[in-house]
Each structure stands twice: as structure tokens, then as C-alpha cells.
Amino acid sequence: MTNRQLVTAWFDQVWNNADEAAIDRMMAPQAKFHGLTPDGSPITGPAGFKPFYRQMRQAFPDIRFELRRIICEGDQVAVHCVVTGTHTGPGLGPQSTGAAVRVEGMALATVRDGRIAEGWNFFDFMTLYQKVGLLPALAL
């Protein structure tokens, strides 16, 4: 499997098809994922990633990642994504809002030995949190 195929499969299997077991197959045991925690600390390994994954899947059971652009160079794969879902579960906050969410973002993955060894995530979490009522909407 090429690096491009691995990263594409990550979004398809893990996120779009809710295959949690794919996390263990595709993510290196000591992988570091950046940009997913409020304090900026990295998430380490599948065991560290799964609570974030479960929270997002619980909040947005219909979450979908549409991969718009993929650029590969060596062991690096950059992906531009559009993420959609409906906040029908309690994964973010005490109650679901029913809000439809659409955010864009990018992810950069480093692939080593056929697994994702490091990831940097740049998604519009502020818009997502505003849509589900965790942050107030900005008045312009």
C-alpha cells in the first residue's frame, strides 16, 4: 500500500466507515497526533487516540470526511478535507443540538513502516464548537 493509499484508507475506514479496529492497524504504536487537544499536547498511540475518536463519533455518528486534495512527497501526505456531520449525540457537551456541521481542514501525516507515525491536524474546531453551542458565535 502506498503512503497515499494508507492515508486515504485511514479517513475512509476509521472515520467514514466507523472501523475502530483500523486505528490499531494503521497507526504506529507510539504515533503522535497534534492539534486535537485543547491544551495543545499531542495524543500518543492508538490508546491515546481512541477516546478522542469515540467522543467525535458519539457526537457525530454520521461524520464524513471528504478528501478534496492529497499531496504526497516522500513519507509526507497532506490532505485537505471537508468534514460534515450532525450533532445528534452527547460526545461534545451535555446534550446534542441537532446542528448540521461543515468544517474544513487539513491534516499532514508522516508514514513510516506502513503506518501513520505522526499527524498534524489543522481543522476549524472553533466553527464546530460554535455550531454545537460550546462557544458563542462571533458577531461581525
pLDDT reported for residue 9:
98
Q: Give tens-digit pLDDT for 70-111.
A: 999 999 999 999 999 999 998 787 688 899 999 999 999 999
Q: Under a CB-based contact definition with an 8 Å cutoff, are residues 35 and 122 in contact?
A: yes
Q: Give tens-digit pLDDT for 31-69.
A: 999 999 989 999 999 999 999 999 999 999 999 999 999
Q: Residue 125: pLDDT band by 50, 70, 90 thresholds?
A: confident
Q: In angstroms, what CA-CA distances link 56 with 11, 52, 60, 63?
A: 14, 6, 6, 8
Q: Does the pLDDT value for residue 139 go beyond 80? A: no
Alpha carbons 112 and 75: distance in angstroms, whole number: 7
pTM of the full structure: 0.92
Largest pairwise CA distance in the chain: 48
Alpha carbons 92 and 54: distance in angstroms, whole number: 11
Alpha carbons 28 and 131: distance in angstroms, whole number: 33
Domains in the chain, ordered, with CATH? 3-131 (3.10.450.50)
Residue whose C-alpha is closest to residue 105's, from 131, 85, 78, 72: 78
pLDDT reported for residue 135:
83
Q: Under a CB-based contact definition with an 8 Å cutoff, are residues 45 and 52 in contact?
A: no
The residue-averaged pLDDT of 103-132 equals: 94
Cell digits of residue 77: 501526505
Q: Does the pLDDT value for residue 130 go beyond 90? A: no
